[in-house]
Amino acid sequence: MPTCQVCHTESPTIAGFLGVCRACIVERPDDARPFIDAAHRANRERYGLPPFPPDDPEGRPCRRCGNECRIPPGERGYCGMVENADGRVRTLATVGRGYLSWYHDPLPTNCVGSWVCPGETGAGHPRYANRPGPEHGYTNLAVFYHSCTFSCLFCQNSHFRHEYLRGAASAEDLAGAVDARTACICYFGGDPASQLKHSLGASKLATKAARRDGRILRICWETNGSTSGRWARQMMKIALESGGCIKFDMKAADPNLHRALTGVSNRQTWENLAALAEYIPERPDPPPLVASTPLVPGYVDAKEVGAIAARLAALDADIPYSLLGFHPAHRMNDLPTTSAEHARRCVEAAESAGLTRVHVGNRHLLSRDDYGEK
């Protein structure tokens, strides 16, 4: 049975690799910090990436995301996509070269926002949807970036780390993959925040061609929301005009818990969410902003979901919020799947916090067993 190294509690919902329970992370952060740091150092060293966002007083600052790396000479930032080359910050991912892969996914697809998306619901038809219902016969161009600004211990797509600096392609190459039956592009990964110039460049090329041909082409991002505020607004502008959305994956509200699970701060994510929520009145349907949270057993409980939901509701009570069933993966592969009871309590917490549109995603992952979470 996994044991918390701080309070020595035993529970099946303590991740052995992290070695600390949620209560100690939140209530005893100083005691939990050494174990959290050790876990993230071990998680990162296998990939040759900095264990924490570099903070060298003599390093060159990178302002591309909320990690605010100060990169020492000859080294790379936390995401691995920026380096200090001879005293100059150089990004490895540009409009002319990104590191990614893509595929055409038939619509309607199992994306985080599908339950409110024009591709499944026909919302915004005929301006933003090809049909008043599901867009059968059309596809989503799913774009997977091979890098990330976070380092989630529970990452559901951790295989991207093994594709680091592979799959080089230009924004023009990616835009060229859009065909007459492509109704939307969705960027995910990894995370597009680490290669945002590339996705913005591809989006501009692809939407220009779609307008010329009189086709609908929605642009969506599924992201941790850590990019700079300047780029976040550029993303929203493209999403609004095309009928797409930005899907923020909110890992946790508590800053100590967020750092334990992801390795970094959630400050920039919340700042961007608040800034982009101001655009909702410009196009409330289909919704331009969607939020989600993976229900990690033992760590992201109903209390945590309620705290996230309260902050979302304070911005706009109608922001669609999807609670995602968790599958044991990466460094938290010894945890159980999310239980149906866990999901039910989280839905109640989100609704009690004031949100009007709450959804459970990945229902096929939910187990019937409960693990004593209170």
pLDDT, tens digit, 9 for 90 and up, residues 181-235: 999 999 999 999 999 999 999 999 999 999 999 999 999 999 999 999 999 999 9
Compute how many other C-beta atoms are within 10 angstroms of the C-beta atom of residue 74. 9
Q: Work out the angle at residue 127's Cα, subtended by the Cα atoms of residues 126 and 129, and round it to the nearest 5 degrees.
A: 60
Q: Does domain 98-287 have CATH number 3.30.9.10?
A: no
pLDDT at residue 208, as a whole number: 98
The more confident residue out of 162 and 253 is: 253
Task: Please give the Cα distance from 166 to 86 (Å, whole number).
Answer: 24
Whole-number mean pLDDT of the chain?
96
Q: List CB contacts of 209: < 8 A, sequence separation 6 or more.
A: 175, 178
Contact 91, 82 (CB under 8 A): yes
Task: Please state the rounded mean pLDDT for residues 344-359.
Answer: 98
296's torsion region: left (phi>0), alpha (psi -120 to 50) or beta? beta
Length, in residues, of the chain: 374
Rounded to an integer, what distance in angstroms lies between the CA atom of residue 24 and that of residue 18?
A: 12
310 falls in which pLDDT band (50, 70, 90)?
very high
**What distance lies between CA 137 and its chain's CA centroid?**
28
Query: What are the tokens at 372?
Result: 């004593």
pLDDT of residue 65: 97
pLDDT (mean) for 83-90: 93
> Is the pLDDT score of 372 beyond 60?
no
Which pLDDT band holds residue 374 (cuts at 50, 70, 90)?
Answer: very low
Which of 204, 216, 184, 177 lies closest to 117 in space, CA to CA?
184
Helix (H) or strand (E) holding 55: none
Query: Mean pLDDT throughout 312-318?
Result: 98
Angle subtended at Cα 270 by Cα 266 and Cα 271, rounded to the nearest 5 degrees? 115
Nearby residues of 368 by Cβ (< 8 Å), 6 or more positions away? 339, 340
68 confidence band (pLDDT: 50, 70, 90): very high
Residue 324: alpha-carbon gap to chain centroid: 12
Q: What are 258-273's pLDDT values in tens digits?
A: 999 999 999 999 999 9
**CA distance linking residue 13 with residue 326, whole number of Å:** 12
Among 23, 53, 21, 33, which residue's Cα sits nearest to residue 265?
A: 53
CATH 3.20.20.70 residue ranges for the chain: 98-287
The percentage of the chain sitting over the pLDDT mark of 70, rounded to a whole number, equals 98
Q: What is the CA radius of gyration of the chain?
A: 20
pTM value > 0.75: yes
Specify the 3-state DSSP secondary structure of 208.
Answer: helix
Residue 370: is its pLDDT beyond 70? no
Pull the structure tokens for residue 187: 């960027």
pLDDT at 312 over 70: yes
Closest of 301, 324, 311 to residue 270, by C-alpha: 311
Mean pLDDT computed over 86-108: 95
Distance CA 100, CA 301 (A): 33
